[in-house]
Every structure is written in C-alpha cells, then in structure tokens.
C-alpha cells in the first residue's frame, strides 16, 4: 500500500473534551502539589521528632555523666531500690546497672544486652567514660543504649531510650498522610470535574450554536449570552459577529436584487436596439445616427452602473487599513480633480481640527460622489460649489458638506436620496444609476458617522456626512 493510502487509512485521533482535559489537569496539579507538600511535611515532622528524641536522650546521658563525674557513685546509688532513682529515669527511659566485672547488678525493665565494650566501660578507672549503641533490639522493640562508667573500676550504668514507639508513631503519621493525600487527590478530581463542567457549560452552548450555523447556514440563530467574564465576552462577540454576518448577507442579497432590477432596463433597451441593427440598411441616415447614439448612451450608462456597483462593493470592504487622515486635504484633492473635469469653480472651507481615523480612499470616493452629484444636477449653472469641512471644538465627529445652487431637493425626496438606486422624478431623465449617494452612506456608516441632506436657503441643496471623533 502506498504512503498516501496508509495516511488516508490511518485512524483519526480521538478528540478529548475540554472538560476532561481541564478536570485531569486540575487533578494532576492538585495531586502533585499535595504529594509534594505531604512528603515535605512528613519529612519535616519526622526529622523534628527524631531530633527531639535524640536531644532528650543526649541530655539524659549528659546529666548522668555530670553526676558520676562530680560525685563518687557506686552501683547501689543507681539501683531501683535506691531513693531518688526516678530522677535519672525519665519516661520511656530504661536503666540497668552493671557491676565492676560487667555483670548485671540491677537489671532493667526490660533487661538490656551487655557487650564487651560495656564490660570494658564498667572496668574503667575514669568516671564518665561513655559508649553508645544505636538501634539495639530488645525483644520486639528498638532502643538506643549508652553505657557510662562510675570510675575506679566500680561498674557502670546503662541508659536506654525506646525508639520503637516513635517509629510506630511516624509510620502511623505516614499512613495517615497517604490516606489524606489520596482523599485530597480524589476530591480534587471530583471538584475539578464539577468546576470544568460549570466553566465549559457556556462554551458547549457556544459550540452548539456554531455547529448549528455551520450545519444550517442560518446566521440568525440566537446565541444565549450570560456572565461578564471571558466566556461571556466571547458569547457577546460571537453574537455580534453573527449579527454582522447576517446583515452583510442581507445587504449582499438586496444589492444583487436591486442591481438585477436596475440592469434589466438598460439591457432590455440595449437588446432591442441591437435587434434593430439587423435592419439598419432599411432606415434613413437620420434614424441610423439616432440608433447609434442611443447604443452609445446605453452602453455608457451600463458602464457607469457597473462601475458604481463595483465602487459600492469596494465601499463595503474593510481591506484598506485605517490611518490618520486630514479631511480638509482630501477635500482639496477632490475639488481640484472635479474642477479640472467640469470647469466649475469649487472652493473648500475648513475650520477646526479636520483630522480623524479613517480610510482615505473610501472618504475620497464619498466626497467625489457628493461633488459629482452637485455638478450633475446643476449642469448649466455657474454658481460656485462649496465643500465645507468642520472639525469639532472638542472630541466629536468631523462634518463634511457640499453646497450647490441646483434645483434643490423636495420634501418627499429628502428621506430617500441615500437609498440604493433611488432617483427623484426630475432626475430620471439624467444619466446616473442612483448609487452615488448610497455609496456615501456606506462610507459614513463604516466610519461611525451618518449622512444628511437639506434644502439650502436661497436655492440648491446641502448634502454631506459625518465621520467619527476627530
């Protein structure tokens, strides 16, 4: 089998849910921390207990050495029948007395083993000589034994401290630590599972909503949003994204429908005139000229309509990066270009701070459409066309308006001039598609602004837009 075939037949990796991952991770971290803390705590406790027991034993041995060094003492002084012997027999301490020859003079309870080194200590002439035996087994218990000489060959005393109980205590502590650690790990796993389920519950809802959108391709699905944490913010962002996508889809559908409707008329007229070309030899010269002129006009209008549709689509695109732009400078460029094309006098008046964050190409297209609209409806006029750019005194929108002395706008048309393909009754004989001002509206909305239109005192119109804070 080929390598490609093996890759295709390779089983897909099993997906692990975020809930399981979170719960296992939480339990693992808790287990590691608990085990480390348990080991350190047990080690510290065991060390303190052992050090404490060793310190007590060393103090008892030192007290006995000081006593036999400062006074002449005999085996009878440490006998269990001697008064005051409890002073040198603290709790959990066994005492056994050896005679001069190393024999047991007074046995301990229990009796302690006697070695050759203990017998040599018992025969020592110098008092206070000591030999220590660690981990001495006495019956079922473990002792630490120290043998201290009386001096003068008078014998020795053996002091033993039991360590079995201490080790038993430490073993019990170790077992309890293990049980507690296991309980904490199990509890952490259960708590992690509950916490992961609580945290991921809203993520599962968002995932289901995304899968429903992918399966049904319906962007109008309502996304349930709760909370104000990161998951809540994600839910609201996802809901807003679906809303924008749904609006974009609706805008595209409406644009296609409107474009199809508007293209139908020029295409029908163009098709009719083309069919007449087959009989052009039957028509007089004057009719031929009119037919050719009509074809040229219709082709030009169709070209303009397609270009404006492209501009409208480009106006809805966010591919151009936003940057700091000066609307007064853009207005100067637009005025200069329109003045060269039309020969009309166009002046620019700017006031305040006219800079803002925006897309220069889109803003230039919007201003050009406003100026073109003004020159088109005042084709034979000679009055100056004005472009006013006014910045706010404080933070706020920048206002751009174009003023002309054309026929003006009727009250019925004021609320529709920015609609797609809308053309006033007196503007229908003029060339155009009715898309120019709708492009202005799209540009303004994409920059956080709005459009406006009004009749100008003394005749003409004022049409413009605002863009977000300067």
d(CA 295, CA 61): 126
How far the first Cα of the chain sits from its last, in Å, is 67
CA distances, 189 to each of 25, 38, 83 (Å): 9, 18, 63
CA nearest to 127, candidates 63, 66, 82? 66
CA nearest to 434, candidates 418, 422, 452? 422
Radius of gyration over every alpha carbon of the chain, rounded to an integer in angstroms: 51
Residue 470 DSSP code: -
Select 78-163's CATH number: 3.40.50, 3.30.450, 2.60.40, 1.10.287.
Answer: 3.30.450
Cα–chain center distance at 60: 65
* CATH code reported for the domain at 219-315: 1.10.287.130
323-467 architecture in CATH? 2-Layer Sandwich (3.30)
CA distances, 423 to each of 418, 438, 453 (Å): 10, 11, 14
Query: What's residue 348's pLDDT?
Result: 94
Question: How many H helices and E strands in the chain?
Answer: 10, 12
Query: What's residue 403's pLDDT?
Result: 92
Q: What are phi and psi of 397, to 5 degrees?
A: -75, 155
User: How, if at all, do strands 461-467 and 451-455 pair?
Assistant: antiparallel
Query: What's residue 8's pLDDT?
Result: 43
Write down the residue that tokens 């040198």 correspond to. Answer: 88
Q: Which H or E run contains 465?
A: strand 461-467
Residue 385 DSSP code: E
Cα–chain center distance at 177: 38
CA nearest to 419, candidates 436, 405, 403, 406? 436
d(CA 347, CA 403): 10
d(CA 210, CA 237): 13
Dihedral over Cα of 457, 460, 466, 470: its sign: negative
CA nearest to 292, candidates 265, 267, 278, 274? 274
Structure tokens at 157: 């005393």
Q: Which H or E run contains 34?
A: helix 18-70
CA distances, 250 to each of 210, 240, 258, 442 (Å): 19, 15, 12, 14
CA distances, 260 to each of 118, 167, 263, 395 (Å): 117, 94, 5, 43
Helix (H, G, I), strand (E, B) or coil at 107: coil
CA distances, 162 to each of 63, 65, 138, 151, 452 (Å): 18, 20, 9, 26, 99
Please list the pLDDT of the chain residue by residue as tens digits (470 residues): 444 445 445 555 455 566 677 777 777 887 788 778 878 877 777 777 667 777 777 888 888 888 888 888 888 877 766 555 544 455 567 888 888 888 888 888 888 888 888 888 888 888 888 898 887 887 777 888 889 888 888 889 888 887 766 666 677 777 887 888 888 878 877 887 887 777 777 777 777 777 777 777 777 677 776 777 777 777 788 778 887 787 777 777 776 766 665 566 667 777 887 887 777 777 888 887 887 887 787 777 677 667 666 766 665 555 668 899 999 999 999 998 888 878 888 999 999 889 999 988 889 888 988 888 888 877 667 788 999 999 887 778 999 999 988 877 777 777 778 776 655 545 444 454 567 788 888 888 888 899 999 888 888 889 999 997 64
Show me where the domains of the chain are located: 15-70+165-215, 78-163, 219-315, 323-467
The pTM of the whole model exceeds 0.85? no
């Amino acid at each position: 089998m080929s390598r490609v075939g093996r890759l295709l037949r390779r089983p897909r990796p099993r997906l692990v849910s975020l809930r399981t991952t979170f719960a296992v991770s939480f339990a693992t971290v808790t287990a590691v921390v608990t085990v480390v803390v348990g080991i350190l705590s047990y080690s510290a406790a065991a060390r303190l207990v052992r050090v404490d027991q060793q310190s007590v034993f060393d103090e008892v041995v030192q007290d006995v050495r000081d006593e036999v060094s400062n006074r002449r003492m005999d085996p009878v002084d440490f006998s269990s029948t001697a008064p005051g012997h409890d002073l040198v027999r603290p709790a959990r301490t066994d005492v056994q007395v050896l005679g001069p020859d190393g024999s047991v003079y007074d046995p301990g309870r229990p009796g302690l083993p006697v070695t050759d080194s203990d017998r040599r200590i018992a025969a020592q002439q110098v008092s206070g000589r000591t030999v220590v035996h660690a981990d001495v087994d006495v019956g079922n218990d473990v002792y630490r034994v120290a043998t201290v000489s009386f001096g003068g060959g008078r014998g020795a005393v053996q002091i033993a401290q039991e360590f079995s109980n201490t080790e038993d205590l430490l073993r019990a502590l170790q077992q309890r630590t293990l049980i507690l650690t296991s309980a904490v790990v199990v509890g952490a796993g259960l708590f992690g599972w509950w916490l992961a389920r609580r945290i991921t519950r809203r993520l599962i809802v968002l995932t289901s909503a995304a899968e429903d959108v992918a399966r049904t391709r319906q962007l109008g699905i309502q996304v349930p949003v709760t909370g104000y944490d990161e998951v809540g913010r994600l839910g609201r962002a996802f809901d807003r994204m679906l809303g924008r996508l749904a609006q974009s889809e609706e805008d595209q559908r409406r644009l296609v429908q409107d474009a199809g409707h508007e293209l139908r008329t020029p295409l029908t007229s163009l098709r009719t005139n083309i069919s007449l070309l087959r009989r052009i030899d039957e028509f007089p010269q004057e009719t031929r000229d009119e037919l050719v002129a009509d074809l040229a006009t219709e082709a030009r209008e169709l070209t303009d309509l397609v270009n404006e549709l492209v501009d409208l689509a480009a106006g809805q695109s966010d591919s151009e990066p936003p940057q700091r732009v000066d609307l007064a400078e853009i207005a100067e460029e637009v005025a200069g270009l329109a003045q060269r094309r039309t020969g009309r006098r166009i002046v620019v008046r700017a006031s305040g701070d006219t800079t803002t964050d925006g897309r220069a190409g889109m803003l230039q297209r919007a201003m050009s459409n406003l100026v073109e609209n003004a020159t088109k409806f005042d084709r034979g006029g000679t009055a100056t066309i004005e472009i006013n750019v006014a910045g706010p005194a404080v933070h706020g929108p920048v206002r751009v308006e174009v003023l002309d002395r054309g026929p003006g706008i009727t009250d019925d048309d004021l609320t529709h001039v920015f609609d797609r393909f809308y053309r006033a009754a007196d503007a229908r004989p003029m060339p155009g598609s009715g898309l120019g001002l709708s492009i202005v509206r799209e540009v303004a909305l994409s920059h956080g602004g709005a459009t406006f239109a009004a009749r100008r005192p003394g005749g003409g119109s004022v049409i413009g837009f605002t863009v977000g804070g300067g």
